[in-house]
Structure 1
Amino acid sequence: MARRPTHRRRSRGRGIRGRLARFDRRAVGCLGWVIFRRGAGFWAGPRGRCAYAAWKAVATHDLTPEIAGLPGFALHVAEAPDAASVLTARVAETLGLSAQAVDTYFHQLLMTLGGWAQVARQKQWQAELVGGADTTVTDLLAVRLLWEEALFLRYGLRIGAAWTEVRSAHEAPVVPTPDLVIDAILQDAADRAGQRVLSAGLANHPEPHAATRPKLQAAFCIDVRSEVFRRALESVDPGVQTFGFAGFFGLATAHRRFASDVEELRLPVLLNPSLRSRASDRAIVGETFARIQSRAHRAWGRFKLAAVSSFAFVEAAGPLYVGKLAGDALGLRQKTHHADPAPKFDPEPPLPARIKMAERVLRAMCLTDQFAPLVFLIGHGAKVVNNPHASALQCGACGGYSGEANVRLLAQLLNDREVRTGLADRGVTIPFHTLFVAALHDTTSDDVQLYDLERVSPVHEDELDQARTLFFRAAVLTRGERALRLPRANRGDLWGRSNDWSETRPEWGLAGCKAFIAAPRRRTAGRNLGGRVFLHDYDWRQDKGFAVLELILTAPVVVASWISLQYYGSIVAPEAFGGGDKVLHNVTGGIGVVEGNGGLLRVGLPWQSVHDGVAYVHDPLRLSVCIEAPREAMTEILNRHPGVRSLFDNRWLHLFTLDDDGQMAWRYAGDLQWVREARVEATKPMIKEAV
């Protein structure tokens, strides 16, 4: 997009320019304060009011702008209209903004607010999911415009010529500059180069021999980090079969941990919770004590982050933390993961609903026959300390939480004898001796933790011991591969990285992600995809009516695109879409981080998540979505979902069909049209069998 000159850019410097820049920064700070005061953070303030009204109620008594050189600002706020929409219309008229100028001008003002505008948009998104509405974004825009109006009335005569030029620039059509055209061509070339490498690795590769009945099956999240572990696990024993499925495992649940009254949405942010769950109760005395302890801990945390006490907290309580800091620095205080009691649905759905839920999940996983004696449902999470961006290392399909609650609920569901009887009536027969086991893959250490084994019959003990051995051997291989990419790492110290409070790169998360493949595992088994591909198992021949294909395109693909674009934006436009330097981060109000002691709320990923100190660890490529399915079926789905279609039509993503040889055969060209892709020569397998 062509850059447009603004009076903000022209205001830098001494005199009038310096004043305008200073007031601009003050406006941004006030808007962040508005969000806090509405209760999104830990600072209390006016309740029951919209953001605009809450800010106005306090700004009429704030003399800081007057002291800084903007006399009459409090009175100007007091006399402003009570309705944000009326104020917006008035300011547009005062500034002389035409209908052609307001779109880009308003958009520019919201972009100057950084993460505050994004938090407001999130509130609107959450309201829209349940059919409601939220005005925080437009309220913030109104507050921002009120500052613009006050500055214009104060300094308008002195910046008249420059302001006329700015208005004209906003009225002009948006056209790409020659530099941006060249950038777009180079971006497309980089994308196609990456696609050729991917296509060559997939094409005409001999399919692995599949045993009639595997000795062990494991369903992993489609997360790119799971690709490395799946490949390692399959290599240590040919009797292992793995699957890829979205990490919330089809259970869109709002979960409450033990002794907590906070609901955590363990589901993609595209969805509303259709289930509710909580940790099972322990003995009533222990539960009561745990609840008191939990509430005291939350109260202490709120005290530390409160508007007044936070300033004195370090001086007053700092000496109490000397032992903790020393222990953390010397590695004497190892953080361990303590699992909650087994979760349960609250309330439990009726039996017909549970049967339908189980069938839907199994069919979406393409797991309807040939069940192994042990079927592991493996979510993932990351154990890290002192990391405000820890949620970026957790499961995106679980809303930024780890996936253990979902897999434990699903294992209970699929082990239920009544549910299995109902499934058999629907054509899905699970053998009596097949056991579903919930597990969690820690992506920082590659350990696999098994859950709820106290409910397992001793009959399965030998099989579980064999599985633990396989997981251990796979973890060794995975750590060895991952250690090659991590700075200052070797396969033996990855546990230490997760417990080191000073470690800025405990792992790489999803850095490097470049493709999404939905196809039978035989298309990708044995290929070393380098931990860069989302792998979703899908067999269109078992998908009657293409309901699963529609689900894949409208949910996992969209979430994967957001993840990919987050990494992309954090590299190509770090000032606007990156998180800044993690070393300088300060958590602000429990919402996000600022860099240093002030400024904008940062968005996106910190620099340490995409750069190793020498070079980038993520190639800024647009995600290539490869699906083995008839292109006619995909065309129909795109036609029914214009929002998803726009991602491909506007070239935020690339879409391909895979043919029967695993070749990327057709490319989506936009407007529901496809073009044939040139065939490429296959490359040799990029992984050797483990000895």
Structure 2
Amino acid sequence: MNLKDLDTLRETPATAITPTTDRAPAAKWSSAAGDAVLAKQIAAACERIAPLWPLDRFVAVNPFHGLRDAPFQEAAAIMRRVAGAQMYMPRAYYREQIADGRITADDLRGAAELCGSGLDPAALQRAVDVEPRPAGRVPLLTAVLDEMDADDWSSFVVDRISHHCAAFFDMGQATWKQPWQGLSLYASWRRFAALDFSATMMGQGGMRARVKALPDAPRDCIRSALNRLGIPSAAALDYMHAALMDIGGWAAWTRLLRWQAELAGGSDDTIEELLAIRLAWDVLVYEHKTSPELRQRWRRVCADLGKLGTSKGGPATAAATASEDAGDREIDQVLLSAAELAYQRGLIGQLRTAANGDTAFRPAVQAAFCIDVRSEVVRRAFETVCPQARTLGFAGFFGVPIEHVPLGAVTARTHVPVLLTPSYRVCSEIHGADPEEADRALATQRRRFGISKSWKAFKMGASSCFSFVESAGIWLYAPKLIGDTLGWSRPVPAPDDLRLDATEASRVGPTLDAPSHAHAHHHAGACGAKGLLDGTTAGIPQADRVALAEGILRAMSLTDGFARLVLLVGHGSTSVNNPHAAGLDCGACAGQTGEASARVVAAILNDPAVRRGLLERGLDVPADTWFLPGLHDTTVDDVHLFDTDVLPAGYAEELAELRSWLKQAGELTRLQRATLLGLGGRRRQSLEASIRQRSRDWSQVRPEWGLAGNAAFIAAPRTRTHGLDLGGRTFLHDYDWRADAGFKTLELIMTAPMVVATWINLQYYGSTVDNRRFGSGNKVLHNVVGGAIGVLEGNAGDLRVGLPMQSLHDGRRWIHEPLRLSVFLQAPQTPIDEIIARNDLVRQLLDNGWLHLFRMEDRDGGIQRRLPGQGWVICGADEGEAIDA
């Protein structure tokens, strides 16, 4: 019997096995008013889930984004109650910090005062010796049954849903496609579940009939499940939230689909369909395993759920929060705040004593790096080897909102933070190539990819896969396996690497214009009008370039004092056998490298017509200033320069000097990173070889530490931080408020780079405090799902989110210290307050304690802290006197 026959059989009418006497106490969701309330609660449950981007566009995501409208401490109580998740480190972690002197009694005392707690340092030091009770969670039906039954129904249900989602959302990994691609997630699952004999093997008879009896519409299924399970209306939001968290990885993936649809002005209900599937499984299992004991136990659970309650589909009420042992939560909050005060104390001390540098001279070179914390180290090294240089910090997409189509590709890749949408689609070409040369190069590449694709299809085919492994696999792959094991292999090419020869490859780069006729057909419509999203333009029109250039320079606070060479340095990473490699690339470029953005911006700023337009707008860029794009490889700390072939001949000597300075800066940077990599004490040549070998080692789980340790964001002139060793823990954004008319740049910084930095910070935070819920576990056990969707830990279970343990812990100690981001802005108070007042997301993050905000004075080095609801207080004042309540 084939699939078609089984599908026909499935449509045969059958009676659902749903005896009324086996149902739980009924809840009422049938009235029109009930439907409206249910719709709001479904939306609220889905909103609590943070999105998850695919591996090839891996983006640092705040895992608590859906709870940003709740105070941090209350959000911690919600996550603990609903999902058993932790948002604080174990007490032993803080006990070690107190014992080592990193957290002092003054820090404990100050933290208690900030948190409004009456705990004194002695009480807190006693508290760190006692771990709080284990977290509970809203019990799903399958979890209750697990306690009564020998079978692990919770894992079974998650595995079956994950299996279906992996097939349904597959992005090209599967050789055999799912037969129901044209259906919705819920509809295809009903077809899949009716034919899935795994449930039969678990003793679930009559599965086909019971699945057929489920409502056709997902929302009707959700309503029916809540009614049949007897979930009290007051507990429906928490129960649905718990159900989504039970399959949190796939919930995050479907939340991404809604996020992307909303950015485009549409909507997507796939996450609601996933919720319907998970609740349907509870009903199916309950009806299958029903017994007097289960019915009695489940009635007690529902009664307890009804006592918790929620208010208006929002955060938990005070009564629910109090039931979570508020004393433990208070202690944890104070300990976290004490660790943050300890870090802030040291950073504030550095910022107060920083000496302003001399900016009167024309620098030998200016280098604008991404604000990424890894750039802080290489910037300091570059300024050390070249004291006459000036470095700047700016978001790695350099302010140009593009999506990029690599040469020969058929899809575009976004190069803006995920909070923004691209306005232009830029394509790469072989510069100077005639149609014949372009055709020849691309035909060669396509033959290579065609052979590779055919070879993959053969070795994965049903008729050849077993014989292939037995007869050919070891002989064909043994040399590669040996080379990879010994670190002889070259790094895997980037996805857009067309494997051209060196001469051709050096001529490949993005163009500002719409693709020429000679190249357009190679992009299969990706750069043509048919391939564009609404509001996106092919190329960057000449009429837009001057305004873009002005906005970029003003946002960089680069409006005068130009050097002859201005370097724009994006960043990326090099590693092999690393599913999360894109997570080490530029967060401001949506998990891509900053190469395309740097090259596009340099081309715009070097355009003579743009220079003339800038002069008319009051920006006089000297005729001898040239913008040069580059890319910082954060794994090996090399800086590669691009488009040097179009650099005027008069810059040859300066280019040679620049290459020398960059080489020396790379050496200094590698020396500083060596200790964290476990390579301290080695000689320079041995150290360099070891670091480069890590980038080629297929077994290396820590090619670099990424953004581990990130803790602060500073927007100020470089003179405020010049010469300070900030330990590679700080996002540095250049900003001079005196050159910011109307404080538009300040608002852009607070609503984009600051928020992106907060997402990065909270992703690292969540992955550290509870890696099981907000991270991705052991990297060694990862298996890629669906081509690039994400990873499983092992061969089954839920899709994993967040960072692997190896990105946070070196096997002996935590490399990342989980602290909420401390933001320092050098700007007047009034515009800061006004920007907060008119931007809901920024206000939520600040007022609810998801990050800390400080303001730096220009002249006296004074620093003030913003306390939600209290205004600004002077840091270090004896009594913390309020200056603006």
Map 1:273-312; keep pairs closer than 5 Å: 273-281=422-430, 282=433, 283=437, 284-294=439-449, 297=452
Residue number in structure 2 paired with 1:423: 614
Residue 100 of structure 1 is matched in structure 2 by 234
Secondary structure at the aligned position of 1:342 is classed as: strand
Cα deviation digits, residues 172-193 of structure 1 (max 9, x gap): 0431422222111111111111
Match of 2:401 in 1: 252
Alpha-carbon deviation of 1:52?
0.6
Match for residue 563 of structure 2 among 357, 372, 381: 372
Find 1:68's aligned residue among 193, 202, 205: 202
Aligned residue type for 1:461: A
String of CA shifts for 1:409-430, please: whole Å, max 9, x gaps.
1111111111111111111111
Q: Which of 141, 162, 170 is 2:297 aligned to?
A: 162
Mapping 1:672-691, distance limit 5 Å: 673-678=871-876
AA aligned to 1:26 is V
Residues in 1 aligned to 2:461 and 2:328: alpha-carbon distance in whole angstroms? 47
Residue of structure 2 in register with 1:17 after alignment: 149
Q: 8 Å contact 2:414–2:589 — kept in the other structure?
A: yes
CA distance in 1, matches of 2:218, 2:464: 33
Residues in 1 aligned to 2:654 and 2:160: alpha-carbon distance in whole angstroms: 59
- 2:745 aligned residue: 548
Residues 1:198 and 2:351 are matched in the alignment:
no
| Counterparts in 2 of 1:101 and 1:306: CA distance versus 1, 3 Å | farther
Per the alignment, do residues 245 and 641 of structure 1 end up closer, same or farther by CA in structure 2, a change over 3 Å counting?
Answer: same
Match in the other structure for 2:46 = none
Task: Find the aligned partners of 1:306 and 1:131 in 2 and give their Cα distance.
Answer: 41
* Residue 53 of structure 1: how far off its partner (Å): 1.0
Q: How do 1:3-82 and structure 2 match up within 5 A?
A: 3-6=136-139, 7-12=141-146, 16-19=148-151, 21-22=152-153, 24-40=155-171, 42-43=173-174, 44-45=177-178, 46-82=180-216
Question: Is 1:202–1:523's contact at 8 Å kept on the other side of the alignment?
Answer: yes
* Match of residue 479, structure 2, among 323, 337, 355: 323
**Maintained 8 Å contact 1:512/1:618:** yes
Cα separation, 1, equivalents of 2:266 and 2:239: 27
Match of 2:509 in 1: 342
Give TM-score, length-normalised by structure 1: 0.93
Corresponding residue for 1:111?
245
**C-alpha distance in 2, partners of 1:603/1:310?**
31
Distance in 2 between the 1:663 and 1:212 partners? 24
Residues 158 and 797 of structure 2 are in contact (CA less than 8 Å); yes or no, is this contact kept in structure 1?
Answer: no
The answer to whether the 8 A contact 2:138-2:239 is kept is: no
- Structure 2 counterpart SS, 1:379: strand
CA contact (8 A) 1:221 1:245 kept: yes
Q: Per-residue deviation at 1:71?
A: 1.5
Distance 2:848 2:453 in 1: 45
Partner secondary structure for residue 783 of structure 2: strand
Correspondence for 2:549 = 358
Q: Structure 1 residues 585 and 154 mapped into 2: Cα distance closer, same or farther (>3 Å)?
A: same
| Aligned counterpart, 2:645 | 454
Q: d(CA) in 2 for partners of 1:599 and 1:23? A: 10
Q: 1:311 to 1:525 in 2, by over 3 A?
A: farther
Q: Distance in 1 between matches of 2:145 and 2:723?
A: 59
Is 1:218 aligned to residue 349 of structure 2? Answer: no
Corresponding position: 1:85 with 2:241 = no
Quick one: structure 1 residues 664 and 511, their matched pair in 2 at CA, closer, same or farther if it must change by over 3 Å? farther
Moved more, 41-50 or 312-321: 312-321
Q: Distance in 2 between matches of 1:623 and 1:55?
A: 42
Residues 395-438 of structure 1, C-alpha deviation per residue, up to 9 Å, x if partnerless?
00111111111101111111111111111111111111111110
Match of 2:845 in 1: 647
Residues in 1 aligned to 2:543 and 2:212: alpha-carbon distance in whole angstroms: 59
In 2: Cα distance, 1:672 partner to 1:343 partner: 50
Relative to structure 2, which stretch is displaced further, 482-491 or 401-410?
Answer: 482-491
Q: Judge conservation of contact 1:657–1:666 (CA < 8 Å) in 2.
A: yes
Deviation for aligned residue 1:302: 7.5
**Equivalent position amino acid for 1:464 in 2:** L
Match of residue 687 from structure 1: none
Deviation at 1:170, TM superposition (A): 3.0
From the superposition, tell whether residues 401 and 664 of structure 1 become closer, same or farther in structure 2 (CA, over 3 Å): farther
- Equivalent residue in structure 1 for 2:489, among 333, 344, 349: 333
Residues 572 and 592 in structure 2, CA contact (< 8 A), matched pair in contact too: yes
Number of aligned positions between the proteins? 677
- 1:411 partner SS: helix
Query: C-alpha separation between the residues in 1 aligned to 2:166 and 2:382?
Result: 47
Q: Secondary structure at the match of 2:363?
A: coil
Change (3 A) 1:329 1:35: closer
Q: Once the two structures are aligned, what percentage of the paired residues are identical?
A: 43
2:280 matched to which residue of 1?
Answer: 146
Give how far 1:301 is off.
Answer: 6.0
Q: How far apart are 1:48 and its partner, in Å?
A: 2.8
1:124 has 2:258 as partner: yes
Give secondary structure in 1 for the equivalent of 2:195.
Answer: coil
Which residue matches 2:824? 626
Letter in 2 for 1:324: K
Structure 1 range deviating more: 631-640 or 217-226: 631-640
Report the Cα distance in structure 2 between the residues aligned to 1:186 and 1:512, rounded to whole angstroms: 18
**1:686 maps to which residue?**
none
* Amino acid corresponding to residue 53 of structure 1 in structure 2: A
Tell me the secondary structure at the aligned position of residue 149 of structure 2: helix
Looking at structure 2, the residues matched to 258 and 350 of structure 1 have their Cα atoms a distance apart, in angstroms, of 20
1:5 and 1:169 in contact (8 A); partners too: no
> 1: CA distance between counterparts of 2:590 and 2:741?
29
Q: CA deviation at 1:334?
A: 2.5
Partners of 1:31 and 1:143 within 8 A in 2: no
Cα 1:559/1:304, change in 2 over 3 Å = farther
Contact 2:631–2:641 under 8 Å retained in 1: yes
**Whole-angstrom CA distance in 2 between matches of 1:116 and 1:436:** 44
Deviation by residue 1:231-275 (Cα, 9 ceiling, x = unmatched): 011111221000000001112211111221121111111111111
Indicate conservation of the 8 Å contact 1:31/1:140, yes or no.
no
Output one character per residue of 1:349-382: Cα deviation in whole Å (capped at 9) or x when no partner. 3322011111110110011111101000000000
Partner of 2:605: 414
Distance in 1, matches of 2:779 and 2:204, equals 35
Q: Which residue identity is paired with 2:389?
A: V
* One-letter code aligned to 2:611: R
Task: Between the two structures, name the one with larger relative contact order (CA 8 Å, sep ≥ 6).
Answer: 2
Report if aligned partners of 1:35, 1:51 keep a CA contact under 8 Å in 2: no
* Distance in 2 of aligned mates of 1:312 and 1:487: 43
Unaligned 5+ residue runs, structure 1? 681-691
Distance 1:296 1:645, change over 3 A: farther
CA distance in 1, matches of 2:218, 2:860: 56
Partner of 1:183: 332
Which sits farther off after the overlay, 392-401 or 640-649?
A: 640-649
Letter in 1 for 2:337: D
Q: The residue matched to 2:831 in structure 1 has which SS?
A: helix
SS of 1:276 mapped into structure 2: strand
Alignment check: 8 A CA contact 1:665 1:677 kept: yes
Separation in 2, partners of 1:502, 1:530? 28
CA distance in 2, matches of 1:316, 1:289: 30
Q: 1:313 to 1:593 in 2, by over 3 A?
A: farther
Give the Cα–Cα distance (whole angstroms) in 2 for the partners of residues 12 and 434 of structure 1: 70
Is 1:438 aligned to residue 629 of structure 2? yes
- CA RMSD, 1 decimal: 2.2
The Cα of 1:298 is off from its aligned counterpart by 5.6
- Offset of residue 209 of structure 1: 2.2
Change (3 A) 1:304 1:199: farther
Q: Distance in 2 between matches of 1:220 and 1:601?
A: 34
